[in-house]
Copies of this chain bind each other. A is one copy, B any other.
Amino acid sequence: MVTIKDVAKVAGVSIATVSRVIHDGHQVGEACRARVKKVIAELGYRPNSNARALVSKTTNTLGVVTPKLSMPFFGSLASGVEKGARENNYKLLMSNSLYETKSEQEAIDSLRDHNCQAIILHSEYSDEKTLLKLAKEIPGLVLINRYMPAIANRCVWLDNVAGARTATDYLINRGHKNFAVITSIYQNGDPGFRLQGIRESLKLAGLQLSEAAIEESTANMEGGEQAVQALLNKGIQFTALLAYNDLMAIGAIHALFAAGLRVPEDVSVIGFDDLIVSRACRPRLTTMHYPVEEMASYATKLAIQLSDTSIEPESRTHLFIPQLVERDSVADAPRS
């Protein structure tokens, strides 16, 4: 490993001078700078970032904590963070929380040991108190996909209620009157907000949504399938189905076809998230676009900005609005 000393020795200068030319210091003579640069190139010298971090206390390192990278949604989130990090010349430290409060905490601690200046956290289960405490301790902490009024300027989140309302209104405008909903058994966070949006829109339109027409299951394809089967078994009549997310919507489509119903001719189905799978099913899924990757890059830049405590943080909110993506799983309500 070639160190700053080696460079200094070969170039015949002091290590201070080498350090200066690395930092583009203008207080170095032309000839000297050129010589040092040449030696650096020849030796292939690269500053040791640990040493640098130790003395300067600035690591240019950013951490992300997400539940599980193998889920496409979080892959996109990570990708957005990576983009933001790269553009700002930051390194990216990554840790999965596996949906557990304990490993989430461990993940965060480990990032702090590394002097991460900025942290992007996707937390569903940690309670507000923990998060608030964390936010106080780490200036560069940004929450993604969660909103807490007390630290509003450090939350990058999606208006799930508005998204669900857009989806519901769209179905209403297409003439649908009989709705069913499949959602997650865990109603805290996103699922709860989306259900709320659905309820609001339906109520405003004077439409009924009986509790029996709301089926809870796991938030994946299998869950979607089971939920629809349950709905069908109960004899619920519906021409429009709102799913908590794309995966459930796709499971629903499978179950619907299996039951001899056509999508969208008999039943219109709408998803939420706009994952890549939504273009894989047939019919292609109409859904609400969740701009995760964009939000993640945004959150990254925000976190980096906030980590510089010399800058007064703006007290603004960072809210994104999901957009409807029309594909082929929704049609006008059939004339009955």
Contact = CB atoms under 8 A, between A and B. Distances in A.
Interface in A106-128: 109-110, 112-115
A276 B96 CA distance: 20
A114 B49 contact: yes
A46 interface: yes
Interface stretch (A33-41, A87-95, A231-239, A317-325): A87-95
Given A46-B112, A68-B79, A96-B79, A282 B281 contact: yes
A95 B86 CA distance: 8
A175 interface: no
By DSSP majority rule, is chain A's interface helix, strand, loop, or mixed?
helix
Contact of A72 (B72, B221, B253, B254): B72
Contacts of A257: 282
A114 B110 CA distance: 16
A51 interface: yes
Contacts of A14: none
Nearest to A71: B75
Nearest to A83: B96
A91 B64 CA distance: 12
A51 B49 CA distance: 11
Interface string A53-75: 11000010000000011111011
A48 B50 CA distance: 10
A115 B50 contact: yes
